[in-house]
Structure 1
Amino acid sequence: MPITIADVAAHAGVSKTTVSRVLNGKGELNAATAARVRQVIEELGYVPSAGAVGLARGRTQIVGMLVPSMTWPWIGEVLQGVVDVVESEGFGLLLFTCNRGEQSLRRFAQQVSAKSFDGLLVIEPEGTLDYITELHAAGLPVVLIDDRGHQPLFPSVATTDRAGGASAARHLLELGRRRPLVITGPTGFGCVQERLAGFTEAWAESGPPLTADQVVAGDFTFEGGRSAVRRLLDHASGAGGGVPFDAVFAHNDLSAAGALAELRAHGLRVPQQVAVVGFDDVPLAAQSDPGLTTVHQPLREMGSAAARLLLAHFRGEPLPSTPTVLPTSLVVRGSTRPGR
């Protein structure tokens, strides 16, 4: 049979109320008595009900997290950063996805109404920013982990997308590349606009300005990167020309991996003929062949920073009024420099 609070009280020689006070940190207690109760709890292996402790403390000890889907490779990295902090502080994590669209959001709203968690971390599902803003305004502590270039009216943790795009451009220019192909993500995303702006601005500093046919709208998928490269190579081949680009900058690692696969399928050598740069630095980047040069987003650190902000708020610290911004950095691998 499971150990109960009555068992702890009997072994410690105190009342159940005293045990409850020790568990919840409420009320004045003799230090020796509290120490004896904690020792009995440890010896018996008593695990208090999270719900009961939450009711006594006025909170659930659970953090909610809302994400679009678990199919995006970088979300797992962010989530691990969140888990590392949340679990170390003795909190649980309640994860919500929007895999089923409106149905998923209705279920999430039900849990908000039931006050099933103390605060919310968000990787914004598309089109939900206004709703999340309303939740924050209504009193729910919220921190956005932002990969879309938004500037919400509540705390957020972001990264330097524009600077990341610029670092990719400068690296390719230093290698002597002059004809880049840029494969973007969905153009409505703020992070895509920032990455493209950073790349375009830095490229114009030392290279010929980008033309419209050098920028192809992608969708952050492997096949999207592959098809973008295939279309240009097939068109050039049909027109009797050579390879129309000597570098690829893809706005995420998954589409960069697709570009690598299609270049290989056409018999082109990377990086000798075409250099390739991605964005994110998910584990796939180091495992590709050749290893993928990419702009590192501090994904785990973003998750950890957001979780720390929320938990600090539970301890009475105010949430920051300005975004927390963590810098990107360029990681150079074999897709741009042979032998690296």
Structure 2
Amino acid sequence: MPITIADVASRAGVSKTTVSRVLNGKGELEPSTAARVRRVIEELGYVPSARAVGLARGRAGVIGMLVPSLTWPWIGEVLQGAVDTVESNGYGLMLFTCNQGDQSMRQFANKASAKAFDGLLVIEPEGQLDYITELHGQGLPVVLIDDRELRPQFASVATTNRAGGESAARHLLANGRTRPVVITGTLAWGCTVERLDGFTAVYAEGGRPLPAGSVVEGDFTFETGRAVMRRFIEDGVEFDAVFAHNDLSAAGALQALREAGRAVPGEVAIVGFDDVPLASQTEPPLTTVRQPLREMGAAAARMLMAHFAGEPLPVEATVIPTDLVVRGSTSASS
């Protein structure tokens, strides 16, 4: 049977609380008592679990991470960045999704109430901001990732969505593409609005404002990207470029163009957003605005690690820039 803290306490003739104080250097103890406890620990070969030590110190040694769903293709990269940082600092990561709706949130709430994690990384699930705010108000350190709207009450890590849209537009204009169409993401999200604003502003400044009907709201899915592109084609919209607000919808648009016999990039150039692995695997590979996904997850986790070491969480958002990755969907030579 493994040696327990109760065994140590019994052999040393002290309480379990006293043993915990010796292990964690907390509280005032007689030197002779502390020495006796340490001697018994050595004699019995007692090794405290990392979790037991963490709890004795008032920490679980675990970071929680709440995400809407693992089906979003870019979340895996964010998660990997967070995991690498958390584990390198000796912490574990407890992942929660909202796949089962209210049931998922009940499970998350139970763990939060039990203080099963010391801080929380959040890719905000729809409709859960009030609850996250409540947890934050109760003292739980929270860092938002991919902040889709300005949430000044939270520390956050974001990227340059507007600048990303601008870089896509400048690239297309430089390649002589003057009649783009846009498949946006969900317009209720700040990142979508920023990407669209940046893109349309560059075309307007270049004397090529986008006409009505050239921008259609999507939902970041392959199926909707394909359906919207089919609609553009069937409606006879004239276009020589597509800016899709993520790589998945860009891949759907590419599929619809190929089905319609439109050459890419010969007739139509396509730019996506994110640079998930899919972007380099389509035919032709997608030019895309790279979001620093892994870096965002790592930066958010570092904020919590620094906070546990005594630093306040930053009040200003940490913004990591995007960059354009040029591939074959916009340039035949790429």
TM-score by length of 2: 0.88
Consecutive aligned runs of 4 or more in structure 1 exceeding 6 Å deviation: 5-9, 16-19, 27-30
Q: 2 CA distance for matches of 1:8 and 1:298?
A: 50
Residue identity opposite 1:287 in structure 2: Q
CA shift, 1:8, in A, is: 10
1:304 aligned residue:
298
Deviations 1:98-154 (A, max 9, x none): 112222222211211111111111000012222212221221100000241333411
Equivalent position to 1:274, from 258, 268, 276: 268
Q: Name structure 1 gaps, 5 residues minimum.
A: 10-15, 237-242
- Describe how 1:79-228 pairs up with structure 2 within 5 A: 79-228=79-228
Amino acid corresponding to residue 273 of structure 1 in structure 2: E
Q: Who is 1:288 aligned against?
A: 282
The CA distance in 2 between the partners of 1:8 and 1:337, in whole Å, is 71
Is 1:178–1:207's contact at 8 Å kept on the other side of the alignment? no
8 Å Cα contact 1:66-1:122 kept in structure 2: yes
Amino acid across the alignment from 1:229:
M
> Which residue of the partner structure matches residue 240 of structure 2?
246
**2 CA distance for matches of 1:28 and 1:291?**
65
Distance in 2 of aligned mates of 1:108 and 1:66 = 8
* Deviations 1:41-78, CA, capped at 9 Å, x for gaps: xxx8957151x222211110010111000000011100
CA distance, structure 1, for counterparts of residue 328 and residue 8 of structure 2: 60
- Per-residue displacement from partner, 1:249-284 (whole Å, max 9, x unpaired)? 000000001111111111111111100000011111
In the TM superposition, what are the counterparts of 1:63-82 in structure 2 within 5 Å?
A: 63-82=63-82
Q: Number of residue pairs matched?
A: 319
| TM-aligned CA distance change 1:289 to 1:8, over 3 Å | farther
2: distance between equivalents of 1:117 and 1:107? 13
- 3-state SS of 1:66 partner: strand
Shift of 1:339: 2.4
Q: Helix, strand or coil for the counterpart of 1:264?
A: helix
**Cα offsets for 1:172-198 (capped at 9, x unmatched):** 000000110100011111110111011
- Two-structure CA RMSD over aligned residues (Å): 2.6
Whether the 8 Å contact between 2:186 and 2:218 is mirrored in structure 1 is yes
Is it true that 1:48 corresponds to 2:49 in the alignment? yes
Q: Contact 2:147 / 2:156 at 8 angstroms: preserved in 1?
A: no
User: Is residue 8–residue 19 contact of structure 1 (8 Å, CA) maintained in 2?
Assistant: yes
Q: CA deviation at 1:211?
A: 1.6
Calculate the TM-score normalised by the size of structure 1. 0.86
Gaps of 5+ in 2: 10-15
Q: Give the 3-state SS of the residue equivalent to 1:321 in structure 2.
A: coil
Flag the 1:214–1:80 CA change in 2: closer, same or farther, 3 A. same
How many Å apart are 1:202 and its aligned residue?
Answer: 1.0
Q: Tell me how far 1:169 sits from its aligned partner.
A: 0.5
Q: 2 CA distance for matches of 1:7 and 1:113?
A: 30
Helix, strand or coil at the partner of 2:209: coil
Contact 1:149 1:194 in 2 (8 A): no
The whole-number CA distance in structure 2 between the counterparts of 1:174 and 1:148 is 29
